[in-house]
Structures are given as structure tokens and as C-alpha cells.
Amino acid sequence: MTNSATDIRTLDEAVQEPRKHRDMALALQPMPNFSETPGGPHGQPLSFWAAWDLADRPRRIALLVDDCQEEYRPYAGEILPNVERLVDAFRAARSSSDGVCIAWSAWSRMFDDGISNAMDRWYGP
């Protein structure tokens, strides 16, 4: 992320960047899968539905592993064998396909980092 307002790209500029799994011809086609509310603000969709079937596009899947860090082991011990099996299965699938990924998310705060005074009060001095 940048701090300069001049570095912020427009949507058109962002879409022009190549992406491995982006089909630009398909992305630029009109979306026939919604109906607009007549007279609604900004033509808000009244309803929408899938414009394609699952078989129409390549399947890609991700495993999000959230807050699996050492500090939570005492509270999450019962689920760890299942998490390990999932991670192993995704790693095995990843070795043969780029349509599989694992995303890790973790809390990285210290009680005295001063970022959030509410968290500082929660953890105490």
C-alpha cells in the first residue's frame, strides 16, 4: 500500500495488469445476470444470479488457516490434527496444481505496542 494519493490506480489501470487466472475477454463482457431496480439509487441490483455454471470455469480453491499460532495451542489442541490433515492435503494438491493455495492469517500484536489503546487496556500494563 502506498501513502501518496498520486500512486492510487484507477480501476481501469488495475484491470490492465496481467493476472494469471483472469480472462479479460470474459471479464469485459456485459453482465446479463442481474436486474436493476427502476429508479433506485445508482441502479442498485434488485436481484442477481450466477452468470456461469461451475463446469464453465477452472476450479481454484484456497485454505485459510486463521490464528493457528503457538499461543493458542492450549485452547485449540483438539482441532490441530484436523488442521494438520487439511494443510497436508492442500500441500499435496498444490504440488500438482497452481489452482490450490494456503493462506495463513495470524494476530501479531504485543500488549505494549501502542497501536490500539483498547487492546492495551485489555491486556493490561
- Domain with 27, as residue range(s), is 10-123
pLDDT at 16: 79
Residue 2 lies in a domain: no
Answer yes or no: is 5 within a domain: no
CA distances from 102 to 6, 19, 66, 93, 95 (A): 33, 18, 11, 11, 12
Mean pLDDT across 89-116: 80
CA 85 to CA 34: how far, in whole Å?
A: 40
19 part of a folded domain: yes
Q: What is the mean pLDDT of residues 18-27?
A: 78
Q: How far apart are CA 92 and CA 58, in angstroms?
A: 19
Question: What digits encode the pLDDT tens for the residues 41-71?
Answer: 665 666 667 777 767 777 788 999 988 888 7
Q: Count how many domains the chain has.
A: 1
Q: Collect all residues with Cβ–Cβ distance below 8 Å to 20 and sequence separation of at least 6.
A: 98
Instruction: Tell me whether residue 83 is in a domain.
Output: yes
3 in a domain, yes or no?
Answer: no
